[in-house]
Amino acid sequence: MFGRRRKKMIHACTNRTLYEPRKCSIKMSGLPMERAGILLVSRVGLCAYGTLVSNHMAASRGRMRAKEAMEQRRLGRTDIVASVLGFGGSEIGYEGASGRTVVRLLGSALDAGLNVIDTAECYEDSESLIGKAIGSRRREFYLFTKCGHAGGWSRADWRQAPLVASIERSLRRLATDYLDLIQLHSCSLATLRTGEAIEALERARARGWARYIGYSGDGEAARYAVECGRFDTLQTSISIADQEAIDRTLPLASARQMGVIAKRPLANVAWRYERKPAEPYYQSYWSRLRTLDYRFLKSAPDTAVGTALRFTLGAPGVHTAIVGTTKPERWQQNAALLQAGALPPREFEQIRARWHEVAAGSWGGQV
């Protein structure tokens, strides 16, 4: 109903999509040549075939090197072994990325070693773009989405029946018959306490639509999501401009072996604006960063981004960080920034000390 779970393969000669390997034997110069799922149609075709295989093997080796270089961490008590960088699907939806761009974008992300894709049903057509772009590579990544705003961000609905229907729609859009993780998308503490929304996710899991369930949010609601013991994962804001969770939520989440997904790990790169941006989404972090006045943000752009990203991934208990972009080349660049390794403890503690020195009591996690 929701697509095939079996891995697709492309026929080397006819470009047909295959779902099961098949074996053929073709005699050439009196000798049998065994090829699984590949037809060698002529001697002339062998040259092209040899080039194709050579190019494919070179590309595969490149992808393998990238995947080996990208650090992976087990997501709490789940069986998900996640790359430390994950793809966030909000930008491709809200910024109206083309299908062709998304194909290149996600292909480059997977080839860079990322194996986590996180989106939401309210990110415009993000789910559909993802499903169409890389449905054939479904076994290469873990797929996360969120629910609660099927009619748009401003029209939340936390009743059980609409939530279940929204999850079913996400499966169709994403061209899959299961999700690795379904998350409640920033519902309030009061909503969590009623239990109905959580029951909707548990129902989806019982039907096999989702392997794990999680909560995405901040503050008191995030703390409750950890304490209630019904979620497998927590997605929460963690960055150089948003450190509340490091003190308030992560220690308990780690103690309970919950998977922790960092959202907004680069603080929206708000420091790049010389003046306060007009878009409200960036304003809070921009103001905070002006007050924090980290010295490293005055360094070269790659140094600043690398330090900020390594800080987030260095926070105790964080397993993966979700980064969004519409630029296909960004993934190779971000992966390269992480090759510097973990942020030195001294630099990490300096950022933490500056936060404790100047952070206002109102600087809570940004939803």
Rg of the chain taking only CA atoms, in angstroms: 23
CB 188 within 8 A of CB 158: no
In this prediction, residue 118 carries a pLDDT of 98
CA distance linking residue 233 with residue 256, whole number of Å: 10
In this prediction, residue 367 carries a pLDDT of 78
Q: For 247, how many CA atoms within 13 A lie in the half-sphere containing its CB? A: 12
CA distance linking residue 228 with residue 314, whole number of Å: 26
Q: What is the DSSP letter of 20?
A: S
CA distance linking residue 335 with residue 87, whole number of Å: 12
Q: Regarding the domain delimited by 72-358, which CATH topology (the fold level of the hierarchy) does it fall under?
A: TIM Barrel (3.20.20)
Give residue 177's identity as a one-letter amino acid code.
D
In this prediction, residue 152 carries a pLDDT of 85
Three-point CA angle 143, 5, 128, nearest 5°: 50
CA distance linking residue 326 with residue 329, whole number of Å: 9
CA distance linking residue 354 with residue 347, whole number of Å: 11
Residue indicated by tokens 């900020």? 308
Distances (CA, A) of 83 to 71, 73, 133, 238, 335: 6, 6, 20, 17, 10
In this prediction, residue 144 carries a pLDDT of 98
In this prediction, residue 332 carries a pLDDT of 87
**Total Cβ atoms within 10 A of residue 57:** 10
Residue indicated by tokens 């609660």? 148
Q: Please state the domain extents for the chain.
A: 9-64, 72-358
Q: What are phi and psi of 328, to 5 degrees?
A: -55, -35
Structure token digits, residue 279 = 């878009």
Distances (CA, A) of 315 to 215, 230, 310: 19, 24, 9
Beta strands in 255-366 (DSSP E): 259-263, 320-324
CA distance linking residue 314 with residue 347, whole number of Å: 11
pLDDT in tens, the chain (367 residues): 444 443 444 333 333 333 333 333 333 333 333 333 333 333 334 344 343 333 433 444 444 444 556 999 999 999 999 999 999 999 999 999 999 999 999 999 999 999 999 999 999 999 999 999 998 899 999 999 999 998 888 899 999 999 999 999 999 999 999 999 999 999 999 999 999 999 999 999 999 999 999 999 999 999 999 999 999 999 999 999 999 999 999 999 999 999 999 999 999 999 999 999 999 989 999 999 999 999 999 999 999 999 999 999 999 999 999 999 999 888 889 899 999 999 999 999 999 999 999 998 889 888 7
Quick one: 126 exposed, middle or buried, by C-beta within 10 A (0-12, 13-18, 19+)? buried
Give residue 343's identity as a one-letter amino acid code.
L
DSSP-derived 3-state class of residue 113 = coil
CA distance linking residue 367 with residue 360, whole number of Å: 17
